[in-house]
A and B are shown apart, each in its own frame.
Chain A
Amino acid sequence: EIVLTQSPGTLSLSPGERATLSCRASQSVSSSYLAWYQHKTGQAPRLLIYGASSMATGIPDRFSGSGSGTHISLTISRLEPEDFAVYYCQQYGGSPLTFGGGTKVEIK
């Protein structure tokens, strides 16, 4: 099983600041099979990025993804109030599909 480790566990930032979230895989995964989701309490997860760097439909361009192999990143260029949530990376380069443990982006 490919283990995804996200860091930091919690990111305390103010609106307008830049957020950089990290996701490391226990073994190399094709970029095609790496994705990021935003999850707010009481809502379904929302796909942000697929293929490590491709934006999903309707996602604001302040979100961007980068990286490959064993390390990908999600960057939110300027945090808006609605961006405070938990973010998960996900892989399916090898079965089973796995998610990282999540990074909570909270208001400082």
Chain B
Amino acid sequence: QVQLHQWGAGLLKPSETLSLTCAVYGGSFSGYYWSWVRQPPGKGLEWIGEINHSGSTNYNPSLKSRVAISVDTSKNHFSLKLSSVTAADTAVYYCARKDYFYHYMDVWGKGTTVTVSS
């Protein structure tokens, strides 16, 4: 059974860079897109972007200038970096496995709460 375990810093100051990593256990790393999704307090879900095992990425245009998603296939890890954070980036961040063909997300990490505050 595939599981995603995610971690990273939970408290940042404005202008710092958010950095989260997600490890994939118990399944194939290839044949999927690996996504990041966030949920600001009191709001809905927002897709941040995705990467496949060969490093091909897609990003939400609203965040594209500040986002970088990378992959380390030797460790079955993928990572999110979001630069120049502000209070608006305060959210619960989830990693998720996305089906390559039907684009649904069927396996999710437990979420990491990231707070941006001075």
User: Which residues in A have some Cβ–Cβ distance to B below 8 Å?
Assistant: 1, 32-33, 35, 37, 39, 43-47, 50-51, 56-57, 88, 90, 92, 95-102
**B104 x A50 contact (CB < 8 A):** yes
Residue of B nearest to A45 (CB): B108
Q: Choose from A1, A56, A96, A100 the contact partner of B106 (Cβ within 8 Å).
A: A56
* Interface positions of B (Cβ within 8 A of A): 35, 37, 44-47, 50, 58-62, 94, 96, 99, 101-106, 108-111
Q: Is A88 in contact with B110, judged by CB distance below 8 angstroms?
A: no
B94 and A50 form a contact (CB under 8 A): no
Contact of A44 among B46, B101, B110 (CB under 8 A): B110
Beta-carbon contact of B47 and A98 below 8 Å: yes
Question: CB-CB < 8 A to A102: which residues of B?
Answer: 44-45
Asked if B108 contacts A44 (CB within 8 A), the reply is: yes
Q: Is the beta-carbon distance between B47 and A97 smaller than 8 angstroms?
A: yes
**Separation of A51 and B101 alpha carbons in the complex (Å):** 10
Task: Report the minimal beta-carbon distance from A101 to chain B, rounded to whole angstroms.
Answer: 5
Q: Which of A35, A44, A46, A98 has the most CB of B within 10 A?
A: A44
